[in-house]
Chains A and B, each alone.
Chain A
Amino acid sequence: MKRRIKPQTAEKIAKGAIWTIALMVIGILIAIIVYILYKGLPVINWSFLTEAPRRMGKEGGISSSIIITLSVTALAVLIAMPFGIGTAFYLAEYTRDNIITRIIRFSAESLAGIPSIVYGLFGYIFFLEILGLGWSVLSGGLTLAIMILPTIIRTSEEAILAVSKTYREVSFSLGGTKWQTIRKAVFPSAVRGITNGIILSVGRSVAETAAVILTVGSDLKMRTMAIHFYQLVMEGISMENAYGTAAILIILIFFINVVANMLIDRFIAKGR
């Protein structure tokens, strides 16, 4: 007869295995970050940050890439913000579950799943060719704005729904209209959660490559940090500068995530 493993033993083995796997995943994350920083930090100095790249990026710094990254990101977020937050308020405050909200939700969730390269194709044909904006920060910003829209909608809606019902009830009972309630009671309490979503979408814009390479282009003076890094690596131009760029990207993303987490912690603490 086959002996079965005792449930207590099976439990120990399974839990041990899961702990190992979980720690390995964390290990991989730490390894990536530490390795990039270890190789990249020595490259970073003042002139690396403030000088324009020369000779295809072999020499000089990455100032132009930093500026392009920041402007594409800022543009994308500024465009997406009113639409995203507006959609969230519409879904959370103005309607119940009906056909329009279902279509809106379906669209937002579908947009969230569309691959970035497809956004790139769309941006290329729509903003570059049809609207004639050419390879530009504007084309890239508009494309990214659509890409980050679902993130802003989802996080803002969660933040709005998390606002206690009593806020609304008190406002309404004082004779406030819906608009007044939203502006003076709901929005101020939801603002931290909404900001969290916006910061996360900043992170997404900074990290994005595929959609940006097809809309902003990969010209030396006109490319984001992620694209600059990609070109330096793939064309074997300068590993040193590639590590430097990667380190700045990692630091930026890390910082963005820390800020987003701090906000959401405070948001939760305040809600309680």
Chain B
Amino acid sequence: MKKFKEKLSGRIFLLLALSSISALVLITVFIFVQGLPIIAKVGFFKFISGMEWAPGEGEFGIFPMIAGTVSVTLGAALIGIPVGICCSIFMAELAPEKMRKIFRPAIQLLAGIPSVLYGFCGLIFVVPLIRDYLGGPGMSILAGSIILAIMILPTIISISEVSLIALPRHYKEGALALGMTHWQTILRVQLPAAKSGIVAAVILGIGRAIGETMAVIMVLGNSVAIPESILDSVRTLTTNIGLEMAYASDEHQQALFATGIVLFVIIMILNATAQYITRKKHSKTQNKRKSNETKNQTADR
């Protein structure tokens, strides 16, 4: 009986563990099955480089949306990455313990706020400011970038902070002992040593920016056009789906799934890269630890 239970529990846990694999497979299969026919019909190259998006007339080109996604994401990265890294340095190195106790849950809360609320705040604060001071319609790449930059902060901060904290103490102690200032130590020793974790954080942050939908629908203006300045309104891949899915049917709906395929592939590439980087680092530190252990053992002898 005992043995039977033992075997059964092992099997059940394995079955449960297969859930995430099957979910990923199901998602991939169904998104592709729905979207591929239209890509095959239009032609892959024409689909991603086409300038016209007129579902009513059978024109399916998503280049303007790709340009939109790239420009908004780039803007968000330009603002969000430096701010995020600064905050992670703040958390890992500068903040006094009390400040850290406030900052960490605050960042968690920032990650928990619904994206529609971010979009809304963009709509009532950022958009009017841009319209009044910089001109244009206000709903623009700039507005989207600012909102997305705030939204990707928690991802960048938490992962970078972890990789900064995980550094061995002697890195810092050695640098300080050599007479470097604290800032020089951070800049020349700790940041370079934590590089791979920070890069992974940045990649995942960018992935979040590319995937965000509701917040950007509210502040981008959503016009299908190649942007000429950061004050222009654009539409991203995600917002294209979010805006039209409600009423799309037949080929139009397939084309939205095809947009989803493009999005999905981009995100999977980014994800896999981030995972590869963190894993490589992980195995490297493990090897180091192992070689240290053997060293210690020989020293003991």
Name A190-230 residues within 8 Å CB distance of B.
Answer: 200, 203-204, 206-210, 213-214, 218, 226, 229-230
B213 pairs with A117, CB closer than 8 A: yes
B121 CB-CB contact with A under 8 Å: yes
Given A11-B183, A111-B20, do A177 and B2 touch, yes or no (CB 8 Å)? yes
> Which label, helix, strand, loop or mixed, suits the secondary structure of the B interface?
helix
Name A213-272 residues within 8 Å CB distance of B.
Answer: 213-214, 218, 226, 229-230, 233-234, 242, 246, 249-250, 253-254, 256-258, 260-261
B245 pairs with A29, CB closer than 8 A: no
A270 CB, nearest partner CB in chain B, Å: 18
Across the interface, name the chain B residue whose C-beta is closest to A103: B21
B166 CB-CB contact with A under 8 Å: no
CB-CB < 8 A to B210: which residues of A?
A: 115
User: What is the CA–CA distance of A109 and B159 in the complex, to the nearest angstrom?
Assistant: 14
B245 pairs with A226, CB closer than 8 A: no
Partner of A111, one of B9, B24, B207, B272: B24
A210 pairs with B242, CB closer than 8 A: yes
CB-CB < 8 A to A28: which residues of B?
A: 150
Partner of A257, one of B105, B120, B256: B105
Interface 9-mer from A48-56, A70-78, A122-130, A165-173: A122-130
User: What is the CA–CA distance of A104 and B180 in the complex, to the nearest angstrom?
Assistant: 44
B178 CB-CB contact with A under 8 Å: no
B113 CB, nearest partner CB in chain A, Å: 6
Band of interface residues on A: 35 or more
A110 pairs with B24, CB closer than 8 A: yes
Given A125-B34, A177-B5, A246-B120, do A115 and B246 touch, yes or no (CB 8 Å)? no
User: What is the CA–CA distance of A83 and B23 in the complex, to the nearest angstrom?
Assistant: 11
CB-CB < 8 A to A46: which residues of B?
A: none
CB-CB < 8 A to B238: which residues of A?
A: 115, 117, 210
B86 pairs with A207, CB closer than 8 A: no
A83 pairs with B275, CB closer than 8 A: no
Interface centre among A32, A83, A110 (most CB of B within 10 A): A110
B59 CB, nearest partner CB in chain A, Å: 21
User: What is the CA–CA distance of A230 and B239 in the complex, to the nearest angstrom?
Assistant: 14
CB-CB < 8 A to B274: which residues of A?
A: 113
User: What is the CA–CA distance of A197 and B108 in the complex, to the nearest angstrom?
Assistant: 13
User: What is the CA–CA distance of A36 and B123 in the complex, to the nearest angstrom?
Assistant: 13
A234 pairs with B218, CB closer than 8 A: yes
B153 pairs with A25, CB closer than 8 A: yes
B182 pairs with A11, CB closer than 8 A: yes
A107 pairs with B24, CB closer than 8 A: yes
User: What is the CA–CA distance of A94 and B13 in the complex, to the nearest angstrom?
Assistant: 8
B171 CB, nearest partner CB in chain A, Å: 18
A178 pairs with B9, CB closer than 8 A: yes
B12 CB-CB contact with A under 8 Å: yes
B270 CB, nearest partner CB in chain A, Å: 7
CB-CB < 8 A to A149: which residues of B?
A: 19-20, 23
Interface 9-mer from B87-95, B129-137, B225-233, B291-299: B87-95
CB-CB < 8 A to B120: which residues of A?
A: 229, 233, 242, 246
User: What is the CA–CA distance of A179 and B212 in the complex, to the nearest angstrom?
Assistant: 41
CB-CB < 8 A to B9: which residues of A?
A: 178-179, 182
Across the interface, name the chain A residue whose C-beta is closest to B187: A14
Given A121-B245, A207-B112, A226-B114, do A126 and B26 touch, yes or no (CB 8 Å)? yes
A22 CB-CB contact with B under 8 Å: yes
A211 CB, nearest partner CB in chain B, Å: 9
Chain B residues with a Cβ closer than 8 Å to the other chain, count: 84
CB-CB < 8 A to B223: which residues of A?
A: none
Partner of A87, one of B17, B183, B184: B17
A45 CB-CB contact with B under 8 Å: no
A256 pairs with B17, CB closer than 8 A: no
A8 pairs with B211, CB closer than 8 A: no
User: 1/0 per position for B1-44, CB-CB distance to A under 8 A?
Assistant: 01001100110111111111101101100110010000000000
User: What is the CA–CA distance of A25 and B270 in the complex, to the nearest angstrom?
Assistant: 26
Interface 9-mer from B48-56, B70-78, B261-269: B261-269
CB-CB < 8 A to A10: which residues of B?
A: 181, 183-184
Given A18-B86, A25-B83, A114-B27, do A11 and B184 touch, yes or no (CB 8 Å)? yes
A186 CB-CB contact with B under 8 Å: no
Partner of B27, one of A90, A122, A203, A257: A122
4 cross-chain pairs, A with B, having the tightest CB-CB distances, nearest first: A115-B211, A86-B16, A207-B114, A11-B183
> Could you pull out 16 A-B pairs where Cβ atoms are within 8 angstroms?
A15-B182, A22-B103, A26-B103, A87-B13, A107-B20, A114-B27, A115-B212, A117-B238, A117-B263, A125-B30, A207-B113, A209-B214, A226-B116, A229-B117, A257-B108, A261-B105
**A positions within 8 Å CB-CB of B:** 7-8, 10-11, 14-15, 17-19, 21-22, 25-26, 28-29, 32, 35-36, 82-83, 85-87, 89-91, 93-94, 100, 103-104, 106-111, 113-122, 124-126, 130, 146, 149-150, 153, 177-179, 182, 200, 203-204, 206-210, 213-214, 218, 226, 229-230, 233-234, 242, 246, 249-250, 253-254, 256-258, 260-261
